[in-house]
Amino acid sequence: MNIKLIDELGKSVESVQVLFNKEIKQSRFLQKNGKEFLEIKISDKNKINQRKWIILCRSIIQTAKANGIKKLIINWNDLISFENLNEKASLGKIFAEAVEMANYEFRKYKKKPKDGWQDVAEVLLITKNFKGNKSQLKRDLQEGQVISQQVNYARELSNISGGDLTPSKLVQEIKKVIKGTKIKIKVLEEVEMKRKKMNGILAVGQGSKEKSKFIILEYRQGGKEKPVVLVGKGVTFDSGGIDTKPHPHGLEMMMDMSGGASVLATLLVADKLSLQKNITVLIPAVENMPSGSSMRPGDVIKMSNGVNVGIGHTDAEGRLILADALVYAQKLKPQMIIDIATLTGASVVALGTKATALMTRDNDLANKVEELAEATGDYTWRLPLWEEYENDIVGSRGDISNINTKAKPGEGSTITAGIFLWNFVKDFERWIHLDIAPRMTADANEQLSKGAAGPAVRLLVELLKK
Ligand code: BES
Ligand code: MG
Ligand code: ZN
């Protein structure tokens, strides 16, 4: 989408002017005196704060798309004159992110209509009466577009069917997309993972015909500083394995690599914004399938740090691949490790589809991330990782189990997964775990198209910048 600043109305006659109206019941398209307008409903019951403003900006695009309008013209001053908007926030960035994200739709498997796709091609912002800094606004808009284009790229990858984006195909795709960037790729094949005893990853992938891959991406623009390591779950399809998911729970499990997609997208943004940072991205990529060679319930797996894990449930696979990745991450002597994963259905039960579950024992880091979550729109909510939970997975047949065998299904299982991961980063303080299962798909009320939501990219980018 093309976003441009213009001085006055009237230059672009073919654009539809956007008006805001508190009186109407529903946003609408109308013609008056031979001109075309989009009237956007604003509910004054709820004063517009930043959260509501993001939705408002997206709803402009959704209304335009529903009416087949390709070019819009908005008075920037009208759009930002709400008393509950924070003047210090980069509204240009937030606006650009909102409209780009609202414009995206997954169309890979759809036939193009004769008169083309209905999306918005251009937004002109009138800044005649804008008292703020115009060149700063331009920069903010640009940055917002760079970020949201990568959010949409993460959504695209997540939406692709499991069969069309296997671990090998994901590797090919990444090699293609990093061409011409400062990002370097290294892929550990199964033989190398065997040598490194990364048996968690190997065990999860062993039931699939598809070869597992451990993808390592490096971006080195931060001189001698220690790297930030981002770990993203890359289960390209999660059938549950031998403990197979019943219908319809498998239907969205092509998106079980959303964590991997988000860390990849974040790294691409870092490159495009030329961040002066050292960042390493780790994506354990596997397919979790039932077959004669699958890992079995009751198997015991020796992980890369020597801990024996009893398999209580083959569908609790994400934590197994992340554990090996976290062990690997610590060897890189990082300043911080963040893992991000569509890890538990229980987090969706707890939070619905509106917030990522955040877990860490580092209170400073938690506070920082929560603040940035609010600022970027990638909302999070913290769950505890208390010592009291450690016992829940101790014992069984190995040192620890991959589920809490003493609890009813689902009971506290987001925290169980967090505590499981903690067992592999015990000695490392600056670690944070984000369970993005609640944000894997868009919420019905957030004015985004159905399907993958591209969680936490905006948040991670901001965290890297700080
Ligand atoms: N990928 C799923 C979690 C998931 C569920 C993500 C729904 C997004 C939406 C994960 O691998 C899984 O299957 N978790 C199990 C763990 C259980 C067996 C302890 C779950 O949450 O049911
Ligand atoms: Mg699973
Ligand atoms: Zn999974």
CATH value at residue 319: 3.40.630.10
Q: Give the SS3 label for residue 87.
A: coil
> Domain residues for 110?
2-128
CA of 317 to the centre of ligand 3 (A): 6
Q: Residue 320, Cβ neighbours under 10 Å: how many?
A: 26
Is residue 34 over pLDDT 90?
A: no
Q: What is the pLDDT of residue 396?
A: 77
Regarding whether 384 and 257 lie in a shared domain, the answer is yes
Residue whose Cα lies nearest atom 19 of ligand 1: it is 316
The reply to whether 148 falls in a domain is no
Model confidence over 287-312: pLDDT tens digits?
Answer: 999 999 999 999 999 999 999 999 99
Pocket-testing residue among 237, 344, 353, ligand 1, by greatest number of atoms within 8 A of Cβ: 344
Q: Of 128, 162, 188, at which residue does a domain stop?
A: 128
Q: Are 207 and 291 in contact (CB under 8 A)?
A: yes
More confident residue, 34 or 450: 450
Q: Give the SS3 label for residue 400.
A: strand
Q: For residue 323, what are the CA distances in angstroms to 198, 315, 356, 384?
A: 9, 15, 20, 19
> HSE (CB half, 13 Å, CA atoms) of 407?
18
Regarding whether 237 and 98 lie in a shared domain, the answer is no
Longest CA–CA span in the chain (Å) reads: 78
Show the tokens assigned to 220: 């080195």
User: How does strand 213-220 pair with strand 278-288?
Assistant: antiparallel
Is residue 10 over pLDDT 80?
A: no
For residue 34, give the CATH number of its domain: 3.40.220.10
The reply to whether 106 falls in a domain is yes
Model confidence over 39-79: pLDDT tens digits?
Answer: 999 987 778 999 999 999 999 999 999 999 999 999 999 99
The reply to whether 81 falls in a domain is yes
Residue whose Cα lies nearest atom 14 of ligand 1: it is 344
Number of domains in the chain: 2
**Active-site residues: which are they?**
245, 319
Question: For residues 84 and 81, what is the distance between their CA atoms, to the nearest angstrom?
Answer: 9
The reply to whether 146 falls in a domain is no
Q: Which residues pair with 6 in a beta bridge?
A: 126
CA of 97 to the centre of ligand 1 (A): 29
For 115-214, where are the alpha helices, taking DSSP H only? Answer: 134-159, 167-177, 190-195, 199-205
Residue whose Cα lies nearest atom 8 of ligand 1: it is 437
Closest Cα to residue 143, out of 96, 91, 99?
A: 96
Q: What is the pLDDT of residue 8?
A: 84
First to last CA, the chain: 28
Regarding whether 185 and 107 lie in a shared domain, the answer is no
Q: Are 342 and 258 in contact (CB under 8 A)?
A: yes
Q: Which residues pair with 72 in a beta bridge?
A: 16, 123
pTM of the model: 0.98
Regarding whether 457 and 392 lie in a shared domain, the answer is yes
Regarding whether 308 and 434 lie in a shared domain, the answer is yes
Axis-axis angle for helices 258-272, 134-159 (nearest 10): 150
Q: What is the pLDDT of residue 211?
A: 99
Q: What is the pLDDT of residue 395?
A: 77
Pocket of ligand 1 (CB under 6 A): 238, 256, 313, 315-318, 342-346, 348, 403, 413, 437, 440
The residue assigned the tokens 């944070």 is 432
Relative to the CA of 235, which ligand 1 atom is closest?
1
Regarding whether 157 and 124 lie in a shared domain, the answer is no
Regarding whether 108 and 163 lie in a shared domain, the answer is no
